[in-house]
Amino acid sequence: MENQVTPERRPVVLSAIQPTSIPTIGNYFGALKNWQTMSEDNDCLFAVADLHALTVHPEPAKLRQQIIEMYATLLSLGLSPEKNIIFIQSMVHAHAELAWILDCYTMFGEAQRMTQFKDKSQKHADNVNVGLFAYPVLMAADILLYQADYVPVGADQKQHLEIARDIAERFNNLRGATFKLPEPYIGKIGARVMSLQDPTQKMSKSDVNPKASVFLFDSPDLIMKKFKSAVTDSEAQVRYADGKDGINNLMSIYSCCTGLDFDAIEKEFEGKGYGDFKVRVAEAVIEEIRPVQEEYARLMKDKAFLMQTANEGAEKASRIAYRTLQKAKKKVGLIVDK
């Protein structure tokens, strides 16, 4: 069943983020910053994907804290819980229930071919659990429960969206039209922020070098320190060119913060050295994320509000998810609630 978005209703977009680490400015400029804009033209659901985090056996108390922190992060981005549905995945029971049904409509071979499963199995050979293997099926349930028209996906998640479509299509062919086939969301393209220490590699939350990544809630002093130690080149001229990966990366980050194009940035720093440029980039980043940091700090002092908002979000999400789950259960022959 292909997407049929009628003018009377806005497209549904689902985005989910795991709570296991603080986002970097790469995550922020590449995706999170655009989520608010995305919600202006679409009916958006934003989820903290805490069930997905269980595959690595996190310490329970730490995970609970990280879930709250990530939920507060979503709100601190300016995403309104009145205009969007912002929820914690595990608080909507339909996710786990539909995932089991979809497991039974997923072929072992296609799940085994998932690149992320292969990569993580090699990295964590001592913990290749069934949850890691079935991870894409739970992701499919996340998407299909809300009849999402679109899902924002990076290159590393594109394969997971494809298998979600395959599962949905197989189910629809066998049991009748039930799920909408989701498409990748093509919105405003965010910047691809690279590592400050190896600018040929994407900035990563899991980089072992503490100087390589700037996190959304790093202190201003730490942000300044990291940018001052950023890898550049020996030319000492601020210009965008092949072979100047470090400076190109800093110029991209500065452009994200200021809206200036590369020509304007080159003119602004004409005759100035890399030291001046690094300081200015750091200052621009500090100023860009200051409102997010301030709102996050305010929200984390009000846990009662966070939990109330999370419960309200889960109730809204559950109402939508329940309808789809009941439909799927009926189609496979299970007894459904009256």
Answer yes or no: do 99 and 169 share one domain.
yes
Confidence of residue 259 (pLDDT cuts 50, 70, 90): very high
Answer yes or no: do 103 and 246 share one domain.
no
How far apart, in whole angstroms, are the C-alpha atoms of residue 128 and residue 306? Answer: 34
Is the whole model's pTM more than 0.85, yes or no?
Answer: yes
Residues designated catalytic:
120, 202, 205
Q: What is the CATH number for 292?
A: 1.10.240.10
Q: Residue 58 is part of which domain span? A: 12-190+303-332
Q: What angle do CA 142, 135, 16 make, to 5 degrees?
A: 40
Both tokens of 14, joined, read 């689902």
Query: Average pLDDT in the 5-25 region?
Result: 86
Among 59, 134, 55, smallest CA distance to 101 is for: 134
Query: Average pLDDT in the 316-335 region?
Result: 98
* Burial (0-12, 13-18, 19+ Cβ within 10 Å), 267: exposed
Q: Is residue 200 part of a domain?
A: no
Answer yes or no: do 181 and 82 share one domain.
yes
Q: Is residue 277 part of a domain?
A: yes
Q: Is residue 155 part of a domain?
A: yes
Q: Is residue 338 part of a domain?
A: no
Answer yes or no: do 276 and 327 share one domain.
no
Answer yes or no: do 93 and 46 share one domain.
yes
Answer yes or no: do 153 and 125 share one domain.
yes
Place of tokens 């809300």: 146
Answer yes or no: do 52 and 143 share one domain.
yes
Q: Is residue 6 part of a domain?
A: no
Answer yes or no: do 48 and 143 share one domain.
yes
Answer yes or no: do 226 and 314 share one domain.
no
Output the pLDDT for position 337. 81
Residues 154-183 pLDDT 10s: 766 788 899 999 999 999 999 999 999 999
Q: How many domains does the chain have?
A: 2
Place of tokens 């990748």: 184
For residue 19, which amino acid is it? P
